[in-house]
Structure 1
Amino acid sequence: MSPTPLNADTPGPDPAESERLRRWRLVLGDPADGPCGRPAGRDARIDSALGALYDTGSDAAPDGAAPRGATLGESSPRVARWLGEVRELFPSRTVHVMQADALDLLGLRRMLLDPGLTEAVRPDVHLAAAVLALADSLPEEARAPARALVRTVTRGLEERLADRTRSRLRGALDRSARTRRPRTAADVDWHATIRRNLRHYVPERGVLVPASIVGRARSGPGVRGDVLLAVDQSGSMAASAVYAGVFASVLASLRTLRTRLIAFGTDVADLTDLIADPVDALFGASLGGGTDIDRALAYCERLITRPAETVLVLISDLHEGGPPEAMLRRLAALRTSGVRVVVLPALSDDGTPAYEPGTAAALAALDVPAFACSPDDFPDMMAAALEGRSLAAWAEEHGADGG
């Protein structure tokens, strides 16, 4: 019998049957490729996320999580990215189920509840990020150990970074408060004035003739600068979010600096009231998947009362959930108003993440600096921003990886 020729009367694929095969393929995994077809596009990402958690018999997990039975250990950077992917791809009810399964399949529940294992694992930023991503699914008995683990990490980061950050920023705030027209002799910074005018010293007369006078503005004990840290909660930014929480706490300890911490996914969470303790701030954000940078910037915009004294640090890989035009217009408006805006695709020791290159190029056209920054360089970068120096020049000088 010859095959029936295709023509206009030949029925096309049954949508209901196609959807049934699609769902069975996602349930059964790779063995169902033949009868059901191989997933593509978003379905391929969903399949990878499911396989990373539930597939067995693989020596190497996809670049999303560890295989079944693995512990977090060195795989924690991939676990953090996988958790972010899950929040984006699945509805909230499914996310809670997968996170609960991940507690056991990735070994996190056992590690948190076994003091011996907790002591054997060296807590690091990525492990803290993975614990934070699963915070909503932790059983009650694991919450205290989870907070203790995150506190160990944040305390270590504070010991490494806090003193230098405070020192650099106090100096920057003092320098930014200087004026060339001090009102009285009490307002003159005599040491700075002498250093600036040493070339005008007249040896034969034993006098120094000042060509300019350096003074301090009468700012008193009040706030000299405002800082807004807006932190993307997507999976690729997990380590950056931990560092941002620590830096927010350190910055908030400076009385002459007003600091706010904003976390965002598709929703926005103002964590400013919690930043005195970075652990409280980090556990305070409970956001869904997806990314709405424009919404976060709109919230920050409402908080700004002194644009010329404000530094806005957007920590994001720039993968905007919707069209980026609104976000770019808002960033341009903020910069035009006098706000010193800087975009960090990464605030971590991991190098530059996979960020959106088209958006980074558009930022460059707006003269908004965008570059990855290590935690050790962050105090110097913030000092340059508070002093009003060119951050593009700072990034080039420090070899920061920009878009």
Structure 2
Amino acid sequence: MQATDETRSRRWRLVLGGAAEAELGALGGTDDAAMDRALTALYNTADDRSGGKRAGSLGESAPRVARWLGDIRNYFPSSVVEVMQRDAVDRLNLTQLLLEPELLEAVEPDVHLVGTLLSLNRVMPETTKATARMVVEKVVREIERRVAARTVTAVSGALNRAARIARPRLRDIDWDRTIRKNLANYLPEHRTVVPERLIGYGRKAQAVHRDVVLAIDQSGSMASSVVYASVFGAVLASMRSLKTSLVVFDTEIVDLTDQLSDPVDVLFGTQLGGGTDINRAIAYSQSLITRPADTLFVLISDLYEGGIREEMLRRVNAMKDSGVQVVVLLALSDDGAPAYDHDNAAALAALGIPAFACTPDKFPDLLALALDRGDVQAWANLNAGGQN
């Protein structure tokens, strides 16, 4: 249904603020007035009539900010609330106020807020950490609900396909696939198929079929990717057929593999911000690889290298040449096309190493394809954004 002229005027008045009241008319009702106050605090000019510089203000009081957060949750949908919260942190420098427990209890949790909290982890007072952990856990559990089942299904299917063997034991023969594969050897006179090639599956055991190493750049711009990658790492670590390692890095390296049972612990073990030494992170990751032909290495980084670029490229190429399946994700998030080092991405592509951005919803399919030794680059061209 098309909006009426009155509805359109009301919306434009809320967008443009008090300066447009003469042309569009006054707002009616207490709800509209409350919405206008919430928007004015964040977006309006200091003096609408003077056309002065935009300078919204929520004041210095944490309780006042908490009331404002409560207002926007009452009057706007959650998707709009998340945008306004991010704008408030960016425009009004509310980062320090997020250290107040009562303020955290009022916010609408989302991936971006989690990134902000993690960047404050080292300066967060103990009285706030429990509340912050609840906020982070709420977001993490929602991501797990969104991706876990699909990831397990996709990866299990890839591992089952990889477990097919050409010389199966009698009880392990896949008769349907074997017959289909040998139809050309059908003997009419005997009304039978001569199976020159037997196809079967390896016996299901608790053996580790593949090793996965995730190396995550924890520079500030990669906050959303760190959150999603930590959740995926925990899901993969729960699968007995995989050996999963998770490393986060800036100029230092932290191996968080032993915390993969809980992605919230992983996230609080990160320290967003700082420089980036990808070369050093790859060197450490190489030390974790004992079965190159059965290993998938996923580097999640915007590729802005602060270390030795030439050595970084040599290391990742040596890893690929040893048989490791290498994939570089410029971002693992829903944030759209990422900023990244185009020269380094192009250099990796020239080495035959795909480098592209991927959304969390597509990542399970990517994992399955990579574990099955499929054409990741062709898949990326069809499915992933940010192709270099």
Normalising by structure 2, report the TM-score.
0.75
Partner of 2:102: 113
**Alignment equivalent of 1:150, drawn from 136, 140, 145:** 136
Identity of aligned residues (%): 50
Rounded to whole Å, the distance in 2 between the matches of 1:206 and 1:375 is 51
Classify 1:311/1:78 alpha carbon distance in 2 versus 1 (closer, same or farther; 3 Å).
farther
Q: C-alpha displacement at 1:209, in angstroms?
A: 4.4
Matched with 1:310 is: 295
Structure 1: 5+ residue stretches without partners: 1-55, 83-100
* CA deviation after TM superposition for structure 1 residue 214, in Å: 1.5
SS of 1:346's equivalent in the other structure is strand
Distance in 1 between residues matched to 2:143 and 2:177, nearest whole Å: 34
CA drift at 1:73: 4.2
**Superposition pairs of residues 374-385 of structure 1, within 5 angstroms:** 374-385=359-370
Counterpart residue type for residue 284 of structure 1: G
Superposed, 1:38-187 pairs within 5 Å as 59=54, 73-74=82-83, 103-104=95-96, 107-110=97-100, 112-114=101-103, 118-119=105-106, 121-182=107-168, 184-187=169-172
Gaps of 5+ in 2: 1-44, 47-52, 70-80
Work out the CA distance in 2 between the residues paired with 1:146 and 1:130.
Answer: 10
- The answer to whether the Cα contact below 8 Å between 1:59 and 1:67 also exists between their aligned partners in 2 is no
Aligned mate of 2:339, from 343, 354, 365: 354
Distance 1:391 1:67 in 2: 48
- 5 Å-filtered alignment, 1:224-303, equals 224-286=209-271, 289-303=274-288
CA contact (8 A) 2:276 2:305 kept: yes
Check 1:300–1:202 CA distance in 2 against 1; reply closer, same or farther (3 A cut): same
Structure 1, residues 86-106: CA drift from partner, whole Å, max 9, x if none?
xxxxxxxxxxxxxxx8543xx
Is the 2:212–2:295 Cα contact (8 Å) retained in structure 1?
Answer: yes
CA distance in 2, matches of 1:373, 1:68: 39
SS at match of 1:402: coil
| 3-state SS, counterpart of residue 357 of structure 2 | coil
Deviations 1:158-204 (A, max 9, x none): 1110011001111111111112232x212322343345456766788
Q: Is the 8 A contact 1:266 1:288 kept in 2?
A: no
In the other structure, the counterpart of 1:26 is: none
Cα contact 2:215–2:299 (8 A) shared by 1: yes
C-alpha contact 2:210 2:243 (8 A) present in aligned 1: yes
Give yes or no for contact 1:79–1:130 (8 Å, CA) kept in 2: no
Please give the root-mean-square deviation of Cα atoms over the aligned residues, in Å.
2.8
Q: Which deviations, in whole Å up to 9, do the C-alpha atoms of 1:39-88 show, x marking residues without a partner?
A: xxxxxxxxxxxxxxxxx976379xxxx998687942666799x8xxxxxx
| Corresponding letter in the other structure for 2:115 | A
- AA aligned to 1:181 is R
Q: Is the 8 A contact 1:60 1:67 kept in 2?
A: no
1:391 equivalent to 2:376? Answer yes
- 1:126–1:272 distance in 2 versus 1, CA, 3 Å: same
- Number of aligned pairs? 318
Deviation, 1:363, is 0.4
Distance of 2:275 and 2:210 partners within structure 1: 32
Match of 2:329 among 321, 344, 357: 344
Query: SS where residue 231 of structure 1 aligns?
Result: strand
Partner of 2:25: none
CA distance in 1, matches of 2:373, 2:268: 33
DSSP-derived class of the 1:157 partner? helix
SS of aligned partner of 2:108:
coil
Is the contact made by 1:173 and 1:224 (CA closer than 8 Å) also made in structure 2?
A: yes
SS in 2 for 1:174: helix
